[in-house]
Amino acid sequence: MVIAMVFGAGVLTDLFFIAFRIPDFVRKLLSEGVLGLAVVPAFSRLLQEQGRARAAHAALSILLRLSAFVTLACTAAMLFMPVIFMWLMPGLGYSSDQGRLCLIMFQIMIPYMGALCILTFFMGVLNALEHFTVPACGPVVFNLVIIGVTVFLSSFMPEPILAIPVGVTLGGCVQLAMQVPVLMRYGMFRHRTVPRKDLSIGISRVLTGAAPAAKQVIASVVGAAGYPINLLVSTLIVSMLESGNVSFLYYSDRLIQFCLGLFSVSISIVMLPALSRLRVEEDKNRITETFLRMVQYVFFITLPAMVGLMVLRVQVVELLFCRGAFTMPMVRQTADCLWYLGMGIWALAGVRMTVTLYQVIGGQGHVKGGWPFQASLTACAVHGVLSWRLTASYGLAGAAAALSLAAMLQFFLLVIRMDGLWNQAVKVIGRFILKSIIASLIMGGVVTATSALIFIGNYDTTVLIWGTIGCIGCGVLLYLGIHMCISRPELAELKQLIGKRKH
């Protein structure tokens, strides 16, 4: 919001978002792939087998090795990035002023990517210790630092847009520093004398647990990174269009990620340790039951949120971004992009949940080993073709539609290979999800008609704020009311499940 207010959408914001796309991709790859697959299960197993004291000492030793590797990697990136940059960024030449500015912004954010590697390890340790509060608050602090640096330091920069990458790097360092006091409270950095043999065994078990099989690691990481990979490709393709389109795509994606972060991602993070414990107990029936109920809960919330965001897209974008340098024509272009990108929210939520299940049970049970990897690569390949063709024909709308279609394809590919789990899902939660779709569509129609009556002609900010809040409130009440009429047994089961999770 602050970036849109200060800089709007144009050449400078496009350059920043192009430079930021790779660090953002690394963040998603680490947090959604490596964090869930490697760190949490491995450290949880070490805690159970050797206790917190030896697990803490092993974690400290791994941290030292990881820090040395990150330092070397960041140094190499600083040195060789100008050469790589010429190949990665079509439409931007390194010799041009725009290309040099984009390269400088990317180089400023290289330390942020290094901090992300260590932050991922810290968050994995805290999640294994079942501490979720500080890791969850980290992104909020990260964004607040970016806002503060952008607002207060941009006027002191030789190029005002450089304040944003500086804020990104500082925000990442602050987010990393937040984890340290909590880890110290759990005794993670306390020096202990541990026999070298026991320490070597501990480190070996963490590293072995973090990568039980190279194929499974790659399968889960790539399986979780299908959408980020596609978004990176779309950004590079859209960068060849007129200025501003990269920014519109980024702003639309932020709203999509906000919707997903509130529901599917947060539930998946909490679900992973619970399913991991059931996996250790080898209770396959409870794993299946827990997974299906979580899917039911996610779609119960995600479907109406998706419809509401698509219906009120203009009002939401105008309310959040339309101030300062962000004008109404920019609002309409961002809203158009949000319409096509929003169609894939349900598929992105489904991919997140199914990949989490694969991370827990690997290639056993209902899930075919290595299939998330194949499904993600297939979706990425199809997206590459669709994005190029649709962007050439329909511009930014085509690029957004290609992203949604690729997410749907990846979800369907993941689901159809689940064999018995798919049949059980249709039997257990299929009817409830169908009812959620019907209720969401009815809600969308009523909210569309209501908004058409409220937002007529030129309306002021007061009408925009209260009208949007009123439409959202009306939609929520209508959706819940319809569900209470047609889904009373399912809602009772869902309420019982939520009650169990609280206790």
pLDDT of 207 above 70: no
Q: Which residue is listed with tokens 């990108």?
A: 341
Tokens representing 328 are: 């109404």
Q: How far apart are CA 295 and CA 117, in angstroms?
A: 30
278 plus 339 within the same structural domain: yes
pLDDT of 498 above 60: no
**Residue 206 counted as domain residue:** yes
The DSSP secondary-structure symbol of 243 reads T
For residue 264, how many other CB atoms are within 10 A of its CB? 27
- Indicate the pLDDT class of residue 203, thresholds 50, 70 and 90: very low
pLDDT of 256 above 80: yes
Higher pLDDT, 444 or 321: 444
pLDDT at residue 264, as a whole number: 65
237 plus 201 within the same structural domain: no
**Residue 452 counted as domain residue:** no
208 plus 218 within the same structural domain: no
pLDDT at residue 456, as a whole number: 84
168 plus 132 within the same structural domain: yes
pLDDT at residue 198, as a whole number: 46
Residues 6+ apart with CB under 8 A from 124: 34, 35, 38, 39, 40, 43
pLDDT of 118 above 90: no
Q: Looking at this protein, which amino acid is placed at residue 370?
A: G
Task: Characterise 213 by phi-psi region: left (phi > 0), alpha (psi -120 to 50), beta (else).
Answer: beta
Higher pLDDT, 311 or 327: 311
pLDDT of 446 above 90: yes
Tokens representing 403 are: 């992203």
pLDDT of 419 above 70: no
- Indicate the pLDDT class of residue 123, thresholds 50, 70 and 90: confident
Q: How far apart are CA 304 and CA 310, in angstroms?
A: 10
pLDDT at residue 297, as a whole number: 80
Q: In terms of DSSP H, where are the helices of 312-327?
A: 313-321
**Residue 424 counted as domain residue:** no
191 plus 310 within the same structural domain: no
Give mean pLDDT, residues 384-400. 92
Domain boundary among 161, 193, 212: 212
- What percent of the chain has a predicted confidence (pLDDT) above 90? 18
pLDDT at residue 310, as a whole number: 93
33 plus 51 within the same structural domain: yes
| pLDDT tens column, 147-160 | 888 888 877 888 88
pLDDT of 202 above 50: no
pLDDT of 427 above 70: no
**Residue 496 counted as domain residue:** no
Cβ–Cβ under 8 Å, residues 244 and 10: yes
244 plus 386 within the same structural domain: yes
Higher pLDDT, 192 or 316: 316
282 plus 408 within the same structural domain: yes
**Residue 304 counted as domain residue:** yes
**Residue 20 counted as domain residue:** yes
Domain boundary among 418, 435, 453: 418
pLDDT at residue 445, as a whole number: 94
Closest CA to 80 of 57, 110, 55, 59: 110
**Residue 489 counted as domain residue:** no
pLDDT of 367 above 50: no
pLDDT of 373 above 90: no
Q: How far apart are CA 116 and CA 177, in angstroms?
A: 11
Give mean pLDDT, residues 389-405. 92
Q: How far apart are CA 219 and CA 202, in angstroms?
A: 26
Q: What angle do CA 423, 434, 476 make, to 5 degrees?
A: 140
**Residue 477 counted as domain residue:** no
Higher pLDDT, 116 or 28: 116
Give the total number of structural domains in the chain. Answer: 2
pLDDT of 381 above 90: yes
pLDDT of 374 above 90: no
Residues 6+ apart with CB under 8 A from 393: none
Give mean pLDDT, residues 130-145. 81
Higher pLDDT, 418 or 95: 418
SS3 assignment, position 132 = coil
| pLDDT tens column, 8-67 | 777 888 888 888 888 888 887 776 555 555 666 667 666 666 677 777 777 777 778 878
pLDDT at residue 292, as a whole number: 77
Q: How far apart are CA 177 and CA 258, in angstroms?
A: 24
CA distances in angstroms from 126 to 166, 208, 311, listed in the order given: 27, 19, 39
Residues 6+ apart with CB under 8 A from 311: 444, 447, 448, 451
Closest CA to 404 of 351, 353, 330, 333: 351
pLDDT of 441 above 90: yes
- Indicate the pLDDT class of residue 387, thresholds 50, 70 and 90: very high
Q: In terms of DSSP H, where are the helices of 395-456?
A: 396-416, 420-428, 430-454
Domain boundary among 418, 439, 471: 418
152 plus 236 within the same structural domain: no
Phi, psi of 322 (to 5 degrees): -80, 85
102 plus 129 within the same structural domain: yes
| pLDDT tens column, 128-137 | 777 777 877 8
- Indicate the pLDDT class of residue 420, thresholds 50, 70 and 90: low
179 plus 256 within the same structural domain: no
pLDDT of 122 above 60: yes
* Lowest-pLDDT choice from 283-287, 303-307, 338-342, 353-357: 283-287
Domain range holding 53?
1-212
pLDDT of 76 above 60: yes
Higher pLDDT, 483 or 90: 483
354 plus 337 within the same structural domain: yes
Q: Looking at this protein, which amino acid is placed at residue 472?
A: I
Q: How far apart are CA 349 and CA 263, in angstroms?
A: 8
